[in-house]
């Protein structure tokens, strides 16, 4: 990931803390990938019928994290209201998906790894939310 390098070459002011932003973008991108992979791994399990809700949570979380990563990768015409609202939605999606994956973490390693990605991403979103005035 070249997140920090790209942020440091932005030619105008970045409105939020750069380290916090970089950490959050990287957590979002990692969580989106993990959720996409977890949905696919769940789909191939023998017990797929018990994993329907997990797959759906994964798909939502992947889409929401990917979009939030893009919003945070842009600094031009910063809009605190949109940034805050999207981060809140993303924090909720990561919490819901993490809670769902955690229930299957004992049986499926992909759900265990994905829970870690969701928890880390939820924390990063909450940390950034706390920094938005």
Binding site for a second copy (CB under 8 A): 1-3, 5-7, 9-12, 25, 29-30, 33-34, 36-41, 43-45, 48-49, 52-57, 59-60, 62-64, 66-67, 69-71, 73-77, 79, 81-82, 85-86, 88-89, 92-93, 96, 100, 108-110, 112-114, 116-117
Measured from the CB of residue 4, what is the shortest distance to a second copy in angstroms? 10
Task: Tell me the CA distances in angstroms from 103 to 8, 27, 50, 121, 126, one per residue in order.
Answer: 40, 22, 11, 18, 23
Beta strands in the chain (DSSP E): none
Task: Tell me the CA distances in angstroms from 13 to 42, 60, 83, one per residue in order.
Answer: 43, 32, 16
Measured from the CB of residue 8, what is the shortest distance to a second copy in angstroms? 8
- The helix/strand/coil state of 133 is coil
For residues 120 and 98, is the Cβ–Cβ distance under 8 A?
A: no
Measured from the CB of residue 98, what is the shortest distance to a second copy in angstroms? 12
Residue among 52 and 131 whose Cβ is closer to a second copy? 52
Measured from the CB of residue 39, what is the shortest distance to a second copy in angstroms? 8
């Amino acid at each position: 990931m070249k997140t920090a390098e790209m942020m440091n070459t932005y030619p105008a002011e970045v409105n939020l803390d750069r380290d916090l932003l970089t950490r959050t973008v990287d957590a979002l991108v990692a969580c989106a990938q993990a959720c996409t992979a977890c949905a696919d791994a769940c789909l191939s399990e023998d017990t797929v019928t018990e994993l329907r809700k997990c797959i759906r949570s994964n798909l939502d979380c992947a889409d929401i994290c990917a979009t939030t990563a893009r919003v945070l990768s842009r600094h031009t015409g910063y809009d605190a209201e949109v940034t805050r609202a999207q981060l809140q939605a993303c924090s909720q999606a990561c919490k819901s998906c993490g809670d769902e994956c955690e229930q299957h973490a004992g049986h499926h390693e992909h759900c265990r790894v994905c829970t870690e990605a969701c928890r880390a991403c939820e924390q990063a979103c909450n940390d950034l939310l706390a920094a938005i005035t």
